[in-house]
Amino acid sequence: MGYTLAQKIIKNHLVSGEMIPGTEISLKIDQTLTQDATGTMAYLEFETMGLPRVKTERSVAYIDHNTLQSGFENADDHRYIQSVAEKYGIYFSRPGNGICHQVHLERFGKPGKTLIGSDSHTPTGGGIGMLAMGAGGLDVAVAMGGGAYYITCPKMYKVELKGRLKPFVTAKDISLEILRILSVKGGVGAIIEWGGEGIASLSVPERATITNMGTELGATTSIFPSDEVTKAFLEAEGRGEDYLPLSADPDAVYDKVITIDLDALEPLIACPHSPDNVVTVASLKGTKVDQVCIGSCTNSSLFDMLKVAALLKGKTISPSVSLSISPGSKQVLTMLSDCGALSDILASGARLLECACGPCIGMGFSPNSAGISLRTFNRNFEGRSGTADAGVYLVSPETAVAAALTGEITDPRLLGEMPTVTMPEHFVINDTAVIPPASPETADSVAILRGPNIKPFPTAHAQEDALSATLALKVGDNITTDHIMPAGAKILPYRSNIPHLSQFCFGVCDKTFPERAKALGKSIVVGGSNYGQGSSREHAALVPMYLGVRVVIAKSFARIHVANLINAGIMPLTFKNPDDYDKLNQSDLLTLTGIFNGMDQGEIVLKDETTGESIPLCCSFTERQKAILKAGGLLAYTKEGK
């Protein structure tokens, strides 16, 4: 039996375990990336490990999320990260150089390598045949220190693309179509490999849009073969030597195969507040639009921007729409400006934002109250834009332009003929905004610059054999990390200050939660299915841990979040019978006894002292996970010298 593409890379990097889906494996990690919103914490964690230098082939620290410097906090964090990078052997991508995933694809990613990043959209690297995964900051810190990355060995899904995209139908529509088919939890526990005749006509930026948005399926990662298209991209980046052809064996076996006919695909749109809430653009025709944002790690490549410029050329946007453009990188912006396309964009009435995440994470450009915002981004979770009652829709750049020009949701095919966009054979290479680290000889003299906003790391509680605690919060299905630990311009500067952040925990669901949890001292949270989907932010575990949450019980968990909970010493348990979710009420007193025995048996019975109900829960952990929970989190476990 042959191997799938991902299995080949896994096999080459396997440190422990066997490639049996559902079992724990660990992988050697070649490259890491961090961004600033999760990076400060990741580097604080790396520092506590006491190592002189990273052990990876390449580690890069990007500044792209917290670029709004409305106080000293973000600037201090940038300086901290820069000094850590210099000292410990990490490349530093300055603010303004671009969004981590776009820049990493352009300048550092290599087919066949493993990459983990403290950002859930790290799978973007799958667009050039990397095995690239999002992870919590602590897992990235451990990988920088040379430790393996532990995951549950995924199942293999294949998406076969047939035919060719029609004009105005794009890679983004393919992403939305697969979300429509599989839903935001359809990829949990799986790697999605893209193949079929249809991939030959997809460029690297288009493939990267698809692997980027595969994150919204809950997938471990998504990956394209490395072929002639990959080679041409790497050569255009002046990195032809990094090319390595890679594909699945013809007799590889997949757990699921889905076929998408590109010829039949139409422009699609995801409605508020979930990326899988997908309908055709045509079906929403005439809906008034207040704001349009083009950019983010999903759709900010030169290819996307050139299409946008060509469609806007000689036209003026609707007076009722505010249009923002954020190119994904300095390389994209430079080339856009050199060829004159930037002038076409600006002449249309668009606002140019810096090469950063910006509006995607609520870092400015929040919509007006109850505003309708069409975005080429990947997430439209409630409140994420920074405006609580905004309605955010996810679309392709073409559909975004159509709305900007007409002031309403419009099928882009009505714009007439799609102008031809020619990609240059060579990109402008200028890495001045990437600062290499100090040499091992001089690293000792580099001082770490710490600002006053960096507060001590909270300590986790070691799980004990029995727990009696109140159910402090009960939430529903598909709770995102944006619900648990919101982001946005006002909160993000405090990512290294857990006590301050804690005031906003679960703010989208229940503003009274932080006070209540603190008063209780220790507590339990109950959720529905796919609890913790979305971001890789470990703050969604660290902050509840700081507030005293000891256990989260859910119908099911998202991959990165469950790992972050265990790393933070919070025990994730699932209902044996999902209907039992209905039997638990907020404020009930819950008791778990014989926890250690339960861990060994894989099952434990929860006693609801308030109602008298007994509820069986799944409690299956690997030996390593049990040890982490008993030690009080991964940091404590690592310090114990494991």
Angle at Cα 187 formed by Cα 182 and Cα 190, nearest 5°? 140
Q: Which residues bind ligand SF4 (CB under 6 A)?
A: 65, 99, 119, 121, 296-297, 357, 360-361, 377-378
Please, what is the minimum distance in Å from the beta carbon of residue 364 to ligand MIC? Answer: 14
Closer to ligand SF4 by Cβ: residue 357 or 524: 357
Pick one of ligand SF4, ligand MIC, none as the site partner of residue 296 (Cβ within 5 to 8 A by kind).
ligand SF4
Size of the site for ligand MIC (CB under 6 A): 14
User: DSSP secondary-structure letter at 145?
Assistant: T
Q: What are residue 570's phi and psi, to 5 degrees? A: -95, 130
Strand ranges inside 483-530, DSSP E: 523-526
CB of 285 to ligand MIC, least distance (A): 29
**Binding of ligand MIC at residue 229 (CB under 6 A)?**
no
Give the strands of the sheet with 155-162, arranged side by side: 221-223, 190-195, 155-162, 256-261
CB-nearer residue toward ligand MIC: 117 or 598: 117
From ligand SF4, ligand MIC, none, which one binds at residue 97 (CB under 5 to 8 Å depending on kind)?
none
Q: In what order do the strands lie in the sheet with 31-34?
A: 131-134, 114-117, 31-34, 58-62, 91-93, 434-435
| φ, ψ dihedrals at 463, nearest 5° | -65, 135
Q: How far is the CB of 377 from ligand SF4 (least distance, A)?
A: 6
Q: Cβ of residue 561: shortest distance to ligand SF4, in angstroms? A: 15
- Binding status of residue 119 toward ligand MIC by CB under 6 A: yes
The residue range among 13-21, 104-112, 119-127, 158-166 that interacts with ligand MIC, by the rule CB under 6 A, is 119-127
Cβ 154 to ligand SF4 shortest distance, Å = 22
Q: How many residues does the chain have?
A: 642
SS3 24: strand
Check residue 221 for interaction with ligand MIC (CB under 6 A). Answer: no
Q: Does 209 bind ligand MIC (CB under 6 A)?
A: no
**Residue in 121, 207, 273, 413 binding ligand MIC, rule: CB under 6 A:** 121
C-beta of 97 vs 296, nearer to ligand SF4: 296
Does position 541 interact with ligand MIC (CB under 6 A)? The reply is no
What b-and-e string marks burial along 515-542, b requiring 16 or more CB atoms within 10 Å of the CB? ebbbebebbbbbbbbbbbbbbbbbbbbb
- Residue 248 binding result from ligand SF4, ligand MIC, none, given CB thresholds of 5 to 8 Å by partner type: none
Asked whether position 366 contacts ligand MIC by CB under 6 A, the answer is no
Shortest distance, position 296 Cβ to ligand MIC, whole Å: 8
Assign 149 to helix, strand or coil: strand
Among 306, 361, 545, 599, binds ligand MIC (CB under 6 A): 361
Alpha helices, H only, 57-182: 72-88, 100-107, 137-144, 171-182
Minimum distance of ligand SF4 from residue 419's CB (angstroms): 26
For ligand SF4, the closer CB: 33 or 467: 33
Q: Which whole-number Å values give the CA distances from 532 to 37, 105, 134, 554, in the listed order?
A: 18, 27, 14, 10
Contact partner, 536, from ligand SF4, ligand MIC, none, Cβ < 5-8 Å per class: ligand MIC
Residues of this chain, 370-399, that bind ligand MIC according to CB under 6 A: 379
Neighbours of 181 (CB within 10 A): 14
537 binds, among ligand MIC, ligand SF4, none (CB under 5 to 8 A by kind): ligand MIC
DSSP letter for each residue of 27-83: E--SEEEE-HHHHHHHHHHHHHTT-SS--SSEEEEE--SS---SSHHHHHHHHHHHH
Q: How many CA atoms lie within 13 A of 283 on its CB side?
A: 9
Backbone angles phi and psi of 152, in degrees to 5? -85, 130
47 Cβ contact list (under 8 Å, min separation 6): 84, 448
Q: How far is the CB of 495 from ligand MIC (least distance, A)?
A: 7
Partner from ligand MIC, ligand SF4, none contacting 99, C-beta within 5 to 8 A by type: ligand SF4
- The footprint of ligand MIC on residues 482-511 (CB under 6 A) is 487
Residue 409 tokens, joined? 């949701």
Q: CB 122 → ligand SF4: shortest distance, Å?
A: 9
By a kind-dependent CB cut-off of 5 to 8 A, residue 638 interacts, out of ligand SF4, ligand MIC, none, with none
Residue 536 interacts with ligand MIC (CB under 6 A): yes or no: yes
Helix axes 36-48, 539-546, angle to 10 degrees: 70
Binding site for ligand MIC (CB under 6 A): 37-38, 65, 119-121, 134, 361, 379, 487, 534-537
